[in-house]
């Protein structure tokens, strides 16, 4: 996986956005504290009104003056609570796009690190599987060779048994060969179990890697957008002038945007570079 050679260590656009975000965050903290105070006040006023209602006879046809006054107090505090809640929601909505900009570098680093970790893990597992396959192949060959020797030794021992007049003793060489086969089969079973476990891990990895790649691509796109804004900061005044003057000519053009045509050969080369970043 190749790294982006154009990645900058510092980003003035991110730094400027961080200042804005911090100011709004400070304002949000103040509103949340104020909201908590008003919410507690509202709960107290509602409790007072409920106590009044509980003490009033159920036979009363209309609320008392005190109940009406308390109800107006509850409504007023409730209105303040609603107003603060709306202000908090509006402020949080303003902070969301700023947070995406501020978090873009870290989100990219995290997504890249996760993808690199998964790719390295898959490579490591594949290497382990290759080593196990080599070991299994060697042991299988050894078993085949030993079994051939056992067949030869067994045939020879069988002739000796037929020719023997006294009790026949199995040759030590044949016993050792059979023991080698049993040990080899035990080793094979263990190696094959290890390989099966690794194969199960590999089955789950394609989806994990695809998910990590999607996260990386999204984070990369956001960071690229942030980086281009950083590089365009010195030219924003010129862009603004070009956009406003085009709009003033009566041309159907939104002042807040200015469209650029990118040469197709650059598009194709960029696609190849981005694809190379995902190659493990």
Return d(Cα 269, Cα 276) in angstroms, integer: 11
Scored b (16 or more CB within 10 A) or e, 71-84 reads: bebbeebeebbeeb
pLDDT at 156: 83
Cβ–Cβ contacts within 10 Å for residue 244, how many?
A: 13
| DSSP character at residue 263 | P
Query: Could you tell me which of 134, 140, 116 has the C-alpha nearest to residue 208?
Result: 116
pLDDT at 19: 96
Return d(Cα 47, Cα 41) in angstroms, integer: 10
Residue 54: pLDDT band (50, 70, 90) is: confident
Q: Where are the domains of the chain?
A: 12-277
What's the N-to-C CA distance of the chain in angstroms? 4
Residue 213: pLDDT band (50, 70, 90) is: very high
Residue 1: pLDDT band (50, 70, 90) is: low
DSSP 3-state of 10: coil
| DSSP character at residue 250 | T
pLDDT at 64: 84
DSSP 3-state of 160: helix
pLDDT at residue 9 greater than cutoff 70:
no
Cβ–Cβ contacts within 10 Å for residue 153, how many?
A: 19
Question: Who has greater pLDDT, 170 or 257?
Answer: 257
Q: Are 102 and 17 in contact (CB under 8 A)?
A: yes
Query: Could you tell me which of 108, 52, 116 has the C-alpha nearest to residue 224?
Result: 108
pLDDT at 171: 77
Counting every residue, how long is the chain?
A: 280
Return d(Cα 176, Cα 173) in angstroms, integer: 5
Q: What is the pLDDT of residues 108-125, one digit of tens each?
A: 999 999 999 999 999 999
Beta strands in 117-274 (DSSP E): none
Q: For the chain, what is the largest distance between any 2 Cα atoms, rounded to a whole number of angstroms?
A: 128
- For CA atoms 10, 14, 20, 22, the dihedral sign is negative
Q: Are 98 and 20 in contact (CB under 8 A)?
A: yes
The CA-based dihedral angle spanning residues 258, 259, 260, 266, taken in that order and rounded to the nearest 10 degrees: 130
Query: Could you tell me which of 58, 206, 37, 196 has the C-alpha nearest to residue 119?
Result: 206
pLDDT at 59: 61
Return d(Cα 254, Cα 15) in angstroms, integer: 28
Q: What is the pLDDT of residues 149-206, one digit of tens each?
A: 888 888 888 887 877 767 777 778 888 888 999 999 999 999 999 999 999 999 999 9
């Amino acid at each position: 996986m190749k790294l982006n050679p154009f990645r900058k260590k510092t980003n003035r656009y991110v730094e400027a956005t961080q200042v804005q975000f911090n100011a709004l965050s400070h304002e949000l903290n103040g509103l949340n504290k104020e909201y908590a105070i008003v919410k507690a006040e509202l709960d107290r006023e509602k409790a007072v009104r409920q106590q009044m209602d509980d003490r009033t006879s159920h036979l009363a046809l209309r609320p008392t003056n005190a109940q009406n006054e308390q109800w107006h107090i509850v409504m007023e505090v409730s209105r303040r609570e609603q107003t603060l809640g709306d202000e908090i929601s509006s402020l949080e909505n303003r902070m969301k796009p700023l947070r995406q900009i501020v978090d873009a570098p870290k989100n990219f680093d995290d997504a890249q690190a996760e993808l690199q970790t998964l790719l390295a893990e898959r490579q490591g597992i594949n290497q382990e599987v290759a080593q196990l396959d080599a070991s299994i192949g060697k042991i299988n060959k050894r078993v085949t060779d030993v079994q051939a020797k056992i067949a030869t030794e067994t045939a020879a021992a069988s002739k000796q048994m037929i020719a023997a007049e006294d009790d026949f003793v199995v040759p030590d060489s044949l016993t050792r060969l059979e023991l080698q086969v049993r040990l080899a089969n035990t080793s094979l079973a263990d190696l094959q179990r290890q390989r099966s476990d690794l194969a199960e891990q590999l089955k789950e990895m394609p989806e994990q890697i695809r998910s990590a790649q999607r996260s990386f691509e999204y984070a990369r796109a956001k960071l690229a957008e942030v980086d281009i804004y950083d590089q365009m900061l010195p030219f924003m005044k010129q862009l603004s002038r070009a956009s406003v003057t085009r709009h003033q000519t009566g041309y159907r053009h939104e002042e807040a945007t200015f469209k650029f045509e990118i040469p197709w050969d650059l598009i194709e080369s960029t696609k190849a570079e981005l694809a190379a970043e995902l190659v493990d």
